Amino acid sequence: MDCVRTSPRRQLISDSVLAVVVTASSLLFALSVGPGTTAGWEGVPVFGRPADLPSLLLIAACTLPLAFRRRWPFLLLVATSVPGLLLTGLGYNPGLADFAAIILLYTVATQRGLALSVLAAVLVMACYLAGALPANEQLGWADHAIVVVVTALVWVVGRTIRLRRAYLGELVDRADRLERAREADTRAARAEERSRIARELHDVVAHHVSVMTVQAAAARTMLEKNPEVAREALISIEEMGRTAMAEMRSIVGVLRTDGPAERGPQPGMDDLPGLVDQMREAGLTTQLWLEGETRQLPPGVDLAAYRLVQEALTNSLRHAGPAARAWVTVRHEPSELMVHVEDDGHGLVLKRENGGKGHGLVGIKERVALYGGVLRIGPRPGGGFEVRARFPLKDR
């Protein structure tokens, strides 16, 4: 009873059937017994006046409201206690009508709070004592004890079912919250992965396309004046394009869903000399200084520092001017890695003219912040532009 959640319509139907069955049983019991017959426990004589129309109506008034027991259980318990008391007060035998009060007590215990369920139990016992007074001579202490035990057992079973439902409901709610949290974490992880891929693609495309654009312009200028220089620039563009395609293929490989990603090794600080040589070939005079004892860096910091230098040099190539020079300083310290890229051009002016912010600078800030670093981007005191970052390193 009440253990499985059903729709309100099905609950009303099942409760109506229960009310009809209890009512019919109570009426038949009242009509089949009378004074002098025996029923109950150990052949206790049935007391009270014979059943007549008023008693049958009062019995029906006690049992038919069971059809709405789940909607107003406590109110119906109070309401049905009135005809029950009238039955005993007028000298009729309530018969099986008392079962309606037990059922309503169980419903209150399963669907209402502790205070209301205790009040319902007290009401049932009070009504029983009021009805048992006229039959005090026919009922012994064992009979009263059985009624008290049955009433208490029904109340305890109802409260246990209510607590079990509350516990199961809390488990379901907790599972739902955990599922929503897991989905939120999954969405956040996907967003972070998309952001990381976007940064990688931007850094690769921006760097290589910028270098290729500068070399293509130089090749166009030197095509008639010095075909050999133009030929070398075109060869460099071809190599740069292949390198860009290889890096992009490596990055986009993580997006594949039909098989394992085919990813090559990511660039790192060991690849800085090659990066500097590319910038020199593209026309930006670049120098590299390595200070301190070189140590193996964490993969994330290694890639972030390399991308920072790549983005900074690409910006210098695009904005610093044709006669600008750039310097890259990498200092390895016991507890941190310092990366400093500066140029003596007029990139700040061009950057303001182009709108101030670029996706590359935003990507640099995200990379440095991801590893707890400190970043400074801005003009140099003596002119030009600089990017300075410090990455904390854990002691090994």
Instruction: Give the CATH number for residue 382.
Output: 3.30.565.10
107, 139, 171 - which closes a domain: 139
First to last CA, the chain: 65
Which domain range does residue 360 map to?
269-396
Please check whether residue 355 lies inside any domain of the structure.
yes
Distances (CA, A) of 270 to 209, 276, 299, 302, 329: 22, 11, 12, 9, 14
Report which secondary-structure segment, H or E, holds 293.
none
| pLDDT of 388 | 94
Name residue 74's amino acid.
F
Report DSSP state, residue 226.
-
Q: Is beta strand 325-332 parallel, antiparallel or unpaired with respect to 285-291?
A: parallel
- Determine the Cα–Cα distance for residues 241 and 234; give it in Å rounded to an integer: 10
| pLDDT of 150 | 86
Tokens found for residue 170: 């809390």
Only one residue has tokens 């048992």, namely 132
Please check whether residue 214 lies inside any domain of the structure.
no
Please say whether the beta carbons of 115 and 10 come within 8 A: no
| pLDDT of 223 | 77
Q: Which residues contact 153 (CB under 8 A, 6 or more apart)?
A: none
139, 160, 182 - which closes a domain: 139
Please say whether the beta carbons of 106 and 158 come within 8 A: yes
| pLDDT of 309 | 93
CA 225 to chain centre: 66
Please check whether residue 166 lies inside any domain of the structure.
no
E strand residue ranges, 252-293: 285-291
Give tens-digit pLDDT for 194-226.
Answer: 676 666 676 666 677 777 777 787 777 777 778
| pLDDT of 391 | 94
Please say whether the beta carbons of 35 and 48 come within 8 A: yes
Cβ count within 10 A of residue 215:
22
Question: Nearest to residue 308, comparing CAs of 219, 368, 348?
Answer: 368
| pLDDT of 339 | 95
Q: Is the dihedral of CA 44, 47, 51, 55 positive or negative?
A: negative
Please check whether residue 240 lies inside any domain of the structure.
no
Number of domains in the chain: 2
Please say whether the beta carbons of 283 and 314 come within 8 A: no
- Determine the Cα–Cα distance for residues 70 and 65; give it in Å rounded to an integer: 10
**Mapping DSSP to helix (H, G, I), strand (E, B) and coil, where does residue 160 land?**
helix
- Determine the Cα–Cα distance for residues 19 and 226; give it in Å rounded to an integer: 106
Please check whether residue 388 lies inside any domain of the structure.
yes
Please check whether residue 212 lies inside any domain of the structure.
no
Please check whether residue 63 lies inside any domain of the structure.
yes
139, 157, 177 - which closes a domain: 139
**Mapping DSSP to helix (H, G, I), strand (E, B) and coil, where does residue 380 land?**
coil
Question: Nearest to residue 207, comparing CAs of 243, 250, 255, 252?
Answer: 243
Please say whether the beta carbons of 128 and 151 come within 8 A: yes
Mean pLDDT by 10 residues, the chain (396 residues): 62 86 84 55 52 85 87 88 82 77 90 88 83 58 79 90 89 89 78 68 70 78 78 78 71 55 70 89 89 86 89 86 89 92 72 48 79 90 89 75
Please check whether residue 101 lies inside any domain of the structure.
yes
